């Protein structure tokens, strides 16, 4: 008998899979390991997902959907204190899974063809009057700034001699850079 078998819903299994994929080597994750974390019999997981790669694709998509839902319309995501705890956990899980997958030699672009958070941000820019190409570039540029900050802020603080600067001031600089990106002129349609 498995304790917690009442947690055999897809949501509970996806939550357990997210935790496992974010904390363990991607290629070593098994459906049995996910079932153990979800506290369900392995057949409950294998009946729905044929492989860990298939489950990983759904985990990644679900993370993107959950993250997209948590940003109010018209508000671009920001790091640091501007994330609430749940947004921060979602971003951390997504980035951990991306990095672990890359380190394990997996190409998620072969498996994941939809990025709900990115789609929503592009649509917000288009709703604000930008043409589609410019909207796509603005999201691309903003996400690059955000990812760079999230991955390398500590190292850059040391390298630039800014270790004594308060975190809020550094975040303000990142936000100012993002505002500059948003104010760039439209992208010519023939690049």
Q: Which three-class secondary structure state does DSSP give residue 75?
A: coil
CB atoms within 10 A of CB 10: 14
Indicate the domain borders of the chain. 5-182
Q: Where do we find the tokens 């390298």?
A: 159
- Given this model, what pLDDT does residue 30 score? 96
pTM: 0.68
For residue range 147-158, what is the model confidence (pLDDT) as tens digits?
788 778 888 889
Q: Torsion over CA of 119, 120, 124 and 130, rounded to 10 degrees?
A: 0
Instruction: State the Cα–Cα distance between residues 186 and 41, nearest whole angstrom.
Output: 54
Q: Where do we find the tokens 């604000």?
A: 128
For residue range 117-146, what is the model confidence (pLDDT) as tens digits?
788 888 888 998 999 999 999 989 988 887
Contacts of 40 (CB under 8 A, 6+ apart): 2, 4, 5, 7, 8, 12, 13
CB atoms within 10 A of CB 86: 11
Give 5-182's CATH code, choosing from 3.50.30.30, 1.10.357.10, 3.30.300.30, 3.90.1580.10: 1.10.357.10
pLDDT of 8 higher than 70: no
């Amino acid at each position: 008998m498995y304790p917690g078998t009442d947690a055999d819903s897809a949501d509970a299994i996806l939550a357990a899979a997210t935790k496992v994929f974010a904390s363990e080597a991607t290629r070593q994750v098994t459906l049995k390991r996910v079932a153990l974390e979800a506290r369900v019999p392995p057949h409950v997981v294998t009946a729905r997902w044929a492989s860990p790669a298939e489950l990983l694709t759904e985990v990644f998509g679900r993370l993107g959907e959950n993250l997209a839902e948590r940003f109010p319309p018209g508000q671009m995501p920001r790091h640091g204190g501007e994330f609430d705890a749940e947004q921060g956990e979602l971003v951390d899980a997504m980035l951990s899974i991306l990095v672990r997958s890359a380190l394990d030699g997996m190409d998620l672009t072969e498996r994941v063809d939809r990025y709900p958070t990115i789609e929503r941000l592009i649509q917000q820019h288009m709703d604000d009057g930008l043409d589609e190409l410019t909207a796509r570039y603005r999201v691309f540029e903003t996400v690059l700034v955000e990812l760079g900050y999230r991955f390398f802020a500590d190292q850059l603080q040391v390298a630039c001699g800014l270790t004594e600067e308060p975190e809020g001031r550094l975040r303000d600089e990142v936000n100012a850079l993002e505002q500059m990106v948003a104010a760039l002129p439209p992208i010519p349609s023939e690049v």
